[in-house]
Amino acid sequence: MAGNHRMKPKSVEKIDIQAMVSSAENTSTGTRDGKANEALILEQLFEQVKRYRDTVHLRKPFDFQEPEELLKLLELDRYEGNQDWEEVFRWVQLYLKYSVATGHPRFVNRMWSGANLPSIVGEIITAISNTSAGTYESAPVSTLMETWMIRRMLEMVGFNSGEGQMTTGSSNANLIAMMAARNRTNSNIRGKGLFGQEPIHAFVSEDSHYSLDKAANVLGIGSDHLVKIPVNQHGQMDIQVLKDQIVQVVQSGGKPFFVCATAGTTVRGAFDSIDEIIALRDQFHFWLHVDGAWGGAAVFSQKLRARFLKGIEEADSFTWDFHKMAGTALISNILLFNDNGVLKKTTRAGDTSYIFGINNNQDDLNLGSLSLQCGRRVDSLKWFLDWKFYGERGFAERVESYHHLAEYAEKWIELSDELEMVVPRESFNVCFRFVTPATISSNEFNQNLRRDLHHNEIGLIGSGFVGPEFSLRLLITNPRINRYEIESFLRDLVNTGKILLGKTWTH
């Protein structure tokens, strides 16, 4: 196996935290009273957090260990239950040392990266206050923040008489949107289920997110009724094929009830044509949902919105993740409906009065009753603080800068003798590979190259297949990334590829 064979550390620096903790005994339990010096413990915690935050972009992006090596270092079977704060901070230090530094510019692996500082503040306050955003009674401030943010997002998207909710992510949002479409298409489904009902069909791009397959399974629609539409040369859903498939379903006695347009596919970053699908919706009366988990952030910028999200204000529902391009701490997502009352018709079921009250004038503020889960994490505070700190213009500038950097990376690759684009860039995703001789498998070589970049602690880059071709996938979601960082990473990638190519030729 290729990789870094340096000596592995066998232990971590001992932390003298015990001296900070009271040795007083709790007379009723005989255990240490950690609360006596809670302030000192928090002080130590924040010192470690500050040190990590200050140096995360200066250190290596990760300290790679094979699983069996990391297990030895972590010593997960160590003693427990003695209320030892030194042990607690030992785990904190180990976690920070061996976790991937997602805030590092060389972490270009996922559609998210290190979080914005205002949202980190929100996360800390959320953890300390520790409440569930299910009722106004238990979470009055976060409830009002969430409803305010929903109204603000509705205005920005153009859903002038709509509603929404924060969810656990776009996978969950896609499920709820499909559920709303299922219930609207047949008023009997809530009571009778799908038994004895006319067959219904959903339509998605073959490059759509796998959460839609899960949603079809969970909702009882079935994978056979989830029609995958081929994509064109730009990675977009083929509109003519979509229309043909819808007509075929109608002629066979089925009902097209849901179409999902993807705004920024996972691998290629392609945007389905929303306005063309709207024309089909007017003809066949299905529900149009837009999955903008990744590319929905283009809505912040008027320029990018006009290019990628034309017609979004006429969709039936829309979701996007703030924890991706916007940089809010994981997880922060919103699902918007272009109509009022959809959530009550979709998610409310059973007698919830023992939790949410009865005849309560705060009923519309008991957000848990509109959610698929009962207990709801407070995600609104971190998004609210981010929004107030950066504002719409700030996020627009960020997303536009990512788009410019993706364009720069593409041009750099096109000018390189060692690299080539697998497919032209569609938006924010840069799909490329190291050029190999005809006698060497490009797919296998580039997978090994990605592994070497990881194991040698050079960087962690995304990947995926475009048809049969394996692609390295550069994703830019970190405000610290600039042209210098991109060029530096690509040069190191090329050098690593040359070394690997020499080894490959030798073998």
pLDDT, one tens digit per residue, over 208-241 is 999 999 999 999 999 999 999 999 999 999 999 9
On average, the pLDDT of the chain sits at 88
- Give Dmax over CA atoms of the chain in angstroms: 79
pLDDT band, very low/low/confident/very high, at 17 (cuts 50, 70, 90) = very low
- Tokens representing 9 are 């550390």
Is the CB of residue 112 less than 8 Å from the CB of residue 462? no
CB-based burial label for 259 (10 Å; 0-12, 13-18, 19+) = buried
The answer to whether the bond into 15 is cis (omega within 30° of 0) is no
Whose tokens are 């690997």? That residue is 500
Classify strands 255-262 and 200-205 as parallel, antiparallel or unpaired.
parallel
φ/ψ of residue 288, rounded to 5: -105, 115
Specify the pLDDT at position 29.
35
As to burial, measured by CB atoms within 10 angstroms (0-12 exposed, 13-18 middle, 19+ buried), residue 378 is: buried
Domain boundaries, the chain: 18-101, 391-506
What does the pLDDT read at residue 186?
A: 86
- Secondary element (H or E) of residue 336: strand 333-337
d(Cα 163, Cα 335) in Å, to the nearest integer?
9
Distance CA 337, CA 159 (A): 7
Is residue 1 predicted with pLDDT exceeding 70? no
Q: What is the DSSP string of 358-374?
A: SS-TTGGG-GGGGSSSS
Over residues 39-67, mean pLDDT:
87
- DSSP secondary-structure letter at 271? B
What pLDDT sits at residue 203? 98
Q: Taking 50 as the threshold, does the pLDDT of residue 197 lie above it?
A: yes
Categorise residue 21: left if φ over 0, alpha if ψ from -120 to 50, beta otherwise.
Answer: beta
Percent of all residues in the chain with a pLDDT value above 70, rounded to a whole number: 90
Pair type for strands 163-167 and 333-337: antiparallel
Q: Is residue 7 pLDDT above 50, yes or no?
A: no
Average pLDDT over residues 293-314: 97
For the domain 391-506, what is the CATH code?
A: 3.90.1150.10
Checking if the pLDDT of 363 tops 70, the result is no
Give the range among 181-185, 402-406, 492-496 with minimum mean pLDDT: 181-185
How far is residue 387's CA from residue 229's CA, in Å, rounded to a whole number? 37
Give the amino acid at 120: I
pLDDT score of 36 more than 50: no
Q: Does residue 22 surpass a pLDDT of 80?
A: no
For 219, the 3-state DSSP assignment is: coil
Q: Is 349 helix (H, G, I), strand (E, B) or coil?
A: coil
The answer to whether 256 touches 203, Cβ cutoff 8 Å, is yes
pLDDT at residue 25, rounded to an integer: 34
- Per-residue pLDDT for 112 more than 50? yes
